[in-house]
Homo-oligomer: A and B are copies of this chain.
Amino acid sequence: MEFHFLDRFQHMAPPAGGDVLKMASAPGVIPFSAGNPSAETFSLKEMEQVTKNLFAQKGAAALFQYGVSEGYGPLREFLQNRMKSKHGTGRESDRLMITSGGQQVIDLFTRLMVNPGDAVIVEEPTFMGALNTFRSAGARIVPVPMEQDGMDLNRLEQVLQEEKQIKFIYVITTFQNPTGFSTTMEKRRAIYQLAQKYDVMILEDNPYFELRISGEYLPPLKSLDEEGRVIFAGSLSKILSPGVRLGYAQAHEDVIARMTALKQAEDVHSNLFFQAVAAEYFARYDLDAHIAACTALYKEKRDRMLSLLEKNLPEGVTFSRPEGGLFVWLQLPEGLDGSALAARCAQNKVAVVPGAAFLADGTQVSAGVRLNYSTPSHEQIDEGVEILARCVREIMG
Contacts and interface: CB of A to CB of B under 8 A. Distances in A.
Interface of A: 1, 3-6, 9, 12-18, 21-22, 35-36, 39, 42, 44, 47-48, 51-52, 55, 60-70, 99-101, 103-104, 107, 111-116, 129, 132-133, 135-136, 167, 199, 201, 227-229, 237, 241-245, 252, 254-255, 257-258, 260-262, 264-274
Interface centre among A22, A68, A269, A271 (most CB of B within 10 A): A271
Contacts of A260: 15, 18
Nearest to A51: B51
B129 A4 contact: no
A242 B267 CA distance: 11
Interface centre among A64, A116, A167, A257 (most CB of B within 10 A): A64
A270 B267 CA distance: 10
A224 B62 CA distance: 38
A271 B273 CA distance: 10
A240 B186 CA distance: 52
A42 B15 contact: no
Nearest to A133: B265
Contacts of A265: 12, 103, 107, 129, 132-133, 135-136
Contact of A242 (B14, B64, B229): B64
Contacts of A66: 17, 21, 35-36, 237, 242-243
Contacts of A228: 1, 3
A126 B228 CA distance: 37
B271 A245 contact: yes
A64 B241 contact: yes
Nearest to A254: B3
B245 A14 contact: no
Contacts of A268: 17, 100-101, 103, 129, 242, 245
A267 B70 CA distance: 16
Contacts of A252: 3
Contacts of A14: 257, 261
A4 B113 contact: yes
A5 B112 contact: yes
Given A103-B268, A252-B3, A274-B273, A262 B64 contact: no
